[in-house]
Amino acid sequence: MRKFLWQGASGRGNAKVAWDQICKPKEEGGLGIRSMLAMNQALMLKHLWRILQNDGTSIWVDWIQHYRLRNSTIWTFNGATGSWSWKKLIKLRPLLQNGVTSVNGLTNKLTSLQRVTARSVALAGLDGG
């Protein structure tokens, strides 16, 4: 499938369809394939979220706190040193910050979109639909 998507039936290297079209849901005319960029960002943001929570249940987070962050927080760390993957992780901080409406200690609040979605799901469950 990869070869067909990237090279088509002719074997040439020109993409036949834009990747954002392929990643659309089937109902919208796409193939329903998940965007690798979006999946990678989501998984990396999950790592950042675990670092932010620092609940003491992850050896990896403890290591990050002790060896990478030291006396700073995930928000104040300059991120100039470290591996390629660590630098990429640090560059995603603004995206995480946009998703967090309030951080007071380790308390998070849902974004407006999440609240609306949760309310819609709850209401849908009440009326049986």
How sure is the predictor about 109, in pLDDT bands with cuts at 50, 70 and 90?
A: very low
- Report the run of H or E that residue 125 belongs to, with start and end: helix 112-126
Separation between Cα atoms, residue 18 and residue 102, nearest integer Å: 37
Percent of the chain with pLDDT over 70: 64
Over the stretch 77-96, which tens digit does the pLDDT of each residue have?
Answer: 887 788 898 999 999 998 88
Q: Residue 60 has what pLDDT? A: 92
- Residues 15, 5 contacting (CB under 8 angstroms): yes
Q: Residue 26 has what pLDDT? A: 92
Over the stretch 37-68, which tens digit does the pLDDT of each residue have?
Answer: 888 988 998 999 899 888 888 999 999 999 99
Q: Residue 15 has what pLDDT? A: 64
Angle (CA) 26-124-103 rounded to 5° is 85
Instruction: Indicate the range of 23-32, 82-91, 117-126 predicted with least confidence.
Output: 117-126
Which residues in the chain belong to E strands, given as ranges? 103-104, 107-108
